[in-house]
A and B are shown apart, each in its own frame.
Chain A
Amino acid sequence: MKFRIKPAPFQRSTKRTTKGIMLELSLVLVVVWFVAILMNYTLMGEAEGTKTILMGDVALVAAFVTDVVTALIIKKNVWQYFVGSYSYVTALIFVLTLPVTVSYYAIVVGIVLAIVFGKIVFGGFGYNPINPAGLGRIIVALSFSLAITGVPGLVSDATTSATITSALNWKDGILPDGFSLGRLFLGNYAGAIGETSALTLLIAGIYLSIRKIADPRLMVSYTVSAFLITLFMGLAFGVANPFVYGITHILVGGLAFGAVFMVTDPVTTPTSPMGKIIFGLGAAAITILIRVSGALPEGVVFSIVFMNLLTPIIDGLVKGKTTDKIGQRWGVILALLVLAIGINIGVAFLGGVA
């Protein structure tokens, strides 16, 4: 008889593995992708529909090849490396943030750079400080701006030749002709393929929360903060309906997509409940700042990647037990929210946006 030694505990939960979580997450992403394919087929036409399918395929294949090459270079078992690197999740998230007008070249460059500089240089999955898909998206935004702002003519709906985010005038918040909150909610307009249908994303978000794959604290903190900040901005700007103004903000520009799939990336966000809420709030404040005062549609991705960099600091601020000083912690959150609203309004006025 051989007596073996190992530290306790000896019983493990049989429910969840990281592999299982990532696989289920990617299934949800695939569903969102399918919805995008369907919408592009029915609303825009066969060319766009097929392009949506191919976009995902190209991203996945490029991610796979990157993994295989990496595994060969660092001399790891190719299959094991691929299974444990979760680049397929990165690829799916990345591609869903792109509009149908993007070139395949941009997709390939984006995903390869995302995986190499977003993940591999830091030591692979689990060690990356910033969201690799977000990094890829930023690279594409900066180097292929033409590729994503839209090639006129490819889209059948004339009002959507540019993304709705850049078409919207954030000063008065009046929606362009043909747009209603309902349409924004359903997502039947051109934009990044996975980002337009808030309804789909709402369902996905609820599903991921129930299945404990993504933390609702992050999603809710991000969207609710964005809503509150813009609600007060709307009031300050004197828009016709501040409530509608706030809702519009969270329905467009990939905010819902970011809330469900990017803000919730556990590796690059804080681990404590308090930290998650601060993260969401911070990301919301920066998103709105970039969008309104910076007049850039990519606020969501930029803000999330920026907050990723702050994650170690936020983690470090949350000390002791989670049950410690609950009242004081809520006070801090409230103060930060007020600060976020104040800065956004202040900068908008100073910058002459409002």
Chain B
Amino acid sequence: MGILFSRGGCHIQGHKELTHGKKIITLTDPKAIGKIYIPLVSGNGKELLLDIKEGDYVKKGTRIGVSQGFYVPVFSPVSGFVSGTEKRFNSLTGRPVDHYVIDNAFKYETEESLKKYDYDKVSSEEIVEAIKEAGIVGLGGAGFPTYIKYGAKNIKTILINACECEPYLTTDNLMVVEETETMLKGISLMMRASQAKKAIIAFKEGHSDMKEAILKYIDSYPNIEIKEVKDRYPAGWERTLVWNVFKKEYENLPSEIGVIVNNAQTAMAVAKAVLEGKPITERVVTVSGTAIKEPQNIRVPVGTVVSKIIEACGGYKGEQVFLLAGGPMCSKAQMNDQFVVEKQSGGYTVLFFEEIEAEPCLRCGACTLHCPASLQPVEIKEAVEKKDEKRLQDLKVNSCIECGLCTFVCPSRIMVTESIRKAKLMLKIAAAKAKAAKK
């Protein structure tokens, strides 16, 4: 923090102890998993171009279709018949969409549709191609197709994000410990793909288990380093992370300063895609929070219905809960538990319902001093109240990453972040109106 400015952030309670250190449970019982549902819409809201139709028999790894817009293939996580199409709520788009229903045969017959490459011989182009064909996306939650990042030139460093700054979630941490070598191999492949000379694995200080696990193997990977960053939310946000590691800023993408940032689990997925020809068909998710009976990490096929996972964790406590598709700082509360696990889902947080009463704004500026995007949330809030679009434009509303810190720190318990979302919406509507008026 400077006298005139702030890069924001603050330490927030992690609640990681609820699941950290517990063994990962694999859900295998057919009844416990139930049917598998594949949304026929990708995160951008566009329908998939389908390869198979209802009634077809698919195996684990059979390509179901591919997204429109960015090319991302979708694979079947299990084997069985596609028995129909059903509308269900989708957590990525926030609305009900069609899903293929796969009657899980629990045979786990596998189709090897993707090419495998030799670790020592695979070329830069082949790696990118393999990542693309396997449909690898950012597994930190963003779900952005990974191969696109590798189109950038002049990359010097791969930065691996293992910060997992959302409270409650522990899958990144556990997977780094569990699959350290796979991750390191994946990182090496990513370095080769981008011709980066160096890679840095960043995690929050105090995570000795990750540190020990990585240090055990790191001697065989001379160009990979570790870097511990301060436990200040949002340590895992790309800009904050890049600033903390390199003390550099960028306009739009970290590739401008020669950096590609990828999540730790994405590195593992890259290794599996390139070396074993495997797409992402299963995933470890954290189920945690105050209102779940047995918080734990649980390995399930992608497409498992969340209610099944909740059952496997002993069910809900209490009568009224918030069910969040992710951690408590950024994730939306879901209207039911009938949505499915996506490949980029890191976990689910279940919290007791509570109502918090707000007081008038003290105008203390705490939100401004904590905003990691260095915005002025209180000023944005006031401009929204006054419907002052000009001022909203001046305040660079669209730089907000909706990290939730402004609401978190507010002593008057005001939902400041929600005002920023409103501000964004107001500007969007204004822009649309302006466009319509021009025509």
Interface core residue of B320, B365, B366, B404 (most chain A CB under 10 Å)? B365
Kindly list chain B residues whose C-beta atoms are within 8 Å of the C-beta of A316.
391
Kindly list chain B residues whose C-beta atoms are within 8 Å of the C-beta of A13.
10, 12, 408-410
The distance in angstroms between the C-alpha atoms of A14 and B356, with both chains bound, is 12
Q: Does B5 contact A (CB under 8 A)?
A: yes
Q: Out of B12, B334, B404, which one reaches A3, CB within 8 Å?
A: B334
The distance in angstroms between the C-alpha atoms of A236 and B366, with both chains bound, is 40
Q: Which of A1-29 contact B (CB under 8 A)?
A: 1-14, 16-21
The distance in angstroms between the C-alpha atoms of A329 and B368, with both chains bound, is 17
Q: Which of B330-389 contact A (CB under 8 A)?
A: 330-337, 349, 351, 353, 356, 359-366, 368-369, 373-376, 378-379, 382
Q: Out of B320, B330, B369, which one reaches A8, CB within 8 Å?
A: B330
Q: How many residues of B contact A (CB 8 A)?
A: 67
User: Given A3-B334, A9-B328, A319 and B360 touching (CB < 8 A)?
Assistant: no
Q: Does B436 contact A (CB under 8 A)?
A: no
Contact B360 A125 (CB under 8 A): yes
The distance in angstroms between the C-alpha atoms of A326 and B418, with both chains bound, is 28
Contact B395 A11 (CB under 8 A): no
Contact B351 A10 (CB under 8 A): yes
User: Given A126-B362, A319-B394, A321-B374, A3 and B399 touching (CB < 8 A)?
Assistant: no
Q: Does A77 contact B (CB under 8 A)?
A: no
Contact A12 B421 (CB under 8 A): no
The distance in angstroms between the C-alpha atoms of A17 and B411, with both chains bound, is 4
Kindly list chain B residues whose C-beta atoms are within 8 Å of the C-beta of A18.
359-360, 362, 411-413
Q: Does B323 contact A (CB under 8 A)?
A: yes
Kindly list chain A residues whose C-beta atoms are within 8 Å of the C-beta of B411.
16-18, 20-21
**Interface majority SS on B: helix, strand, loop or mixed?**
loop
Nearest-neighbour CB distance to chain B for A219, whole angstroms, equals 13
Q: Does B65 contact A (CB under 8 A)?
A: no
Q: Does B2 contact A (CB under 8 A)?
A: yes
Contact B4 A330 (CB under 8 A): yes
Chain A, interface size: which category?
Answer: 35 or more
Contact A4 B321 (CB under 8 A): yes
Q: Does B322 contact A (CB under 8 A)?
A: yes
Q: Out of B323, B330, B336, B379, which one reaches A9, CB within 8 Å?
A: B330
Contact B336 A3 (CB under 8 A): yes
Instruction: List 17 A-B residue pairs with CB atoms under 8 Å apart, sorted by A's residue number.
Output: A2-B319, A2-B320, A4-B322, A5-B335, A8-B332, A9-B407, A13-B410, A16-B411, A18-B362, A19-B359, A127-B360, A266-B362, A266-B364, A271-B368, A271-B376, A272-B368, A272-B379
| A residues neighboring B (CB under 8 Å) | 1-14, 16-21, 84, 124-127, 212, 215, 217, 266-269, 271-274, 276-277, 315-316, 318-324, 326, 329-330
